[in-house]
Amino acid sequence: MAQAHTRILGTSFVVGEHCVKNDALSKICDTSDEWIRERSGIEQRYYVEEGVSTSELGFRASQKALEDAKVSPQEIDYLVFATMTPDYFFPGCGSIVQAKLGLGNIPALDLRQQCTGFIYGLQICDALVRAGMARRLLFIGAEVHTGFMPWSKKAVEIILGRSHEELPKEERDWNTKFRDRTVLFGDAAGAMVLGPADDPSRGLLGFALHSDGSKVESLYVPSAGMAYRPYVSEVHCREGRHVPVMDGRTVFKMAVSKMPEVVREVCRLAAVTVEDIDLLIAHQANLRINEAVQRSLGLPDSRVYNNIQRYGNTTAATIPIAYDECKRSGRIKPGDLLCFAGLGAGFHWGAALMRE
Ligand code: UT7
């Protein structure tokens, strides 16, 4: 008998409490709705209220995903948490959510593969389920990016529409230094319950994953880290070294070349063709990246889903959010061949195939 594949049994997602349109960001730095839409496709994103952490968003999304899967917390026997924005330097968010949900002392594993966190995590979840080590696995991809934003409390109040003051020029200039990154990201969490499929023809079919550490400095957070003593310093904060550094052009070029390549590779490994893909759900970093990937693969609009317009880049949460939306809207039907693909800091990139 063929070995059972791993299936998604239920999903859900949550976003930060505040919807922030592009125009709100132009109040605190030199940017515009037109620039952001044209270069990235983004129209709005969500920010959490200060104090709401990544584990809290992960917890909220998990409660909804458990309901969707009709699985009780007591049935979950493994938890995997992917994020690049954990609540603390250590430990990761996995055990925090394990305790909040009352899952008992099950294993809780934390992954940090940034924008490819979902694809790497999915492969680990698949391996655990197929090895019989987990039967009801909770997988979370969550991020609170707003902690990265080097903004004053006053700037945040202006963005959220709770203050109508103007920022001093010096502060606006400081915020403008980071505008190529700060406009892109939003806060959100996606969660999934996974388990063995009853029908061996359905579920996860295969993965292709890669890394290239030779370009780490194209996308990274230089500080805080154990490369320094002490690992966190006031000087670094003053210099803005706690904000992600990004060579946008390099990331863009890597994404538009590696993502189509890895989609073709995973299709070859699973003995299907790109034309067989019913729906491509790629990481949502930039709509222009995903349009270029789509063109390169020759897929029609009906076979690609994007929602970056409404959420911005939510890193490990983008694919679970998009999957959940497609599932609920009927865009994904039983028997459809789905492809997930992503690339991000590391660099890490990869693709997965799943028969719904
Ligand atoms: O998941 C991984 C996360 N990251 C990514 O995937 C990022 C991939 N890269 C990108 O999405 C794009 O490179 C960006 C959207 C980040 C930037 O777009 P770009 O077309 O590469 O713009 P650029 O960096 O070449 O900047 C063009 C101009 C510059 O001005 P000058 O030098 O021509 O006067 C920038 O200073 O646009 C300026 N600029 C902005 N203007 C208004 C940069 N950011 C902004 C902004 N608003 N937010």
pLDDT at 4: 82
Answer yes or no: 115 catalytic: yes
Catalytic-role residue among 283, 286, 306, 339:
283
Coil, helix or strand for 10?
strand
List the residue whose alpha carbon is closest to atom 14 of ligand 1. 248
The third-level CATH classification (topology) of the domain covering 203-216+246-355 is: Peroxisomal Thiolase; Chain A, domain 1 (3.40.47)
pLDDT at 148: 97
d(CA 63, CA 67): 6
pLDDT at 2: 57
Answer yes or no: 306 catalytic: no
**Long-range CB contacts (within 8 A, 24+) of 239-242:** 240/150, 240/174, 240/177, 240/178, 242/148, 242/150
Tokens at residue 294, please? 């789509």
Comparing C-alpha atoms, which of 65, 207, 189 is closest to residue 126?
207
CATH 3.40.47.10 fits 6-196, yes or no: yes
10-residue averages of pLDDT along the chain (356 residues): 84 98 98 98 98 98 98 98 98 98 98 97 98 98 98 98 97 98 98 95 96 97 94 94 96 98 98 98 98 98 98 98 98 98 98 98
Domain with CATH 3.40.47.10 in the chain: 6-196, 203-216+246-355
List the residue whose alpha carbon is closest to atom 24 of ligand 1. 248
Tokens at residue 309, please? 């317009």
User: Which residue out of 180, 218, 247, 283 has the highest number of ligand 1 atoms within 8 Å of its CB and is therefore the one to mutate?
Assistant: 180
What DSSP line would sit under 135-147, residue for residue?
Answer: SSEEEEEEE--GG
The secondary structure of residue 49, as a DSSP letter, is P
Dihedral sign, Cα of residue 83, residue 87, residue 91, residue 95 = negative
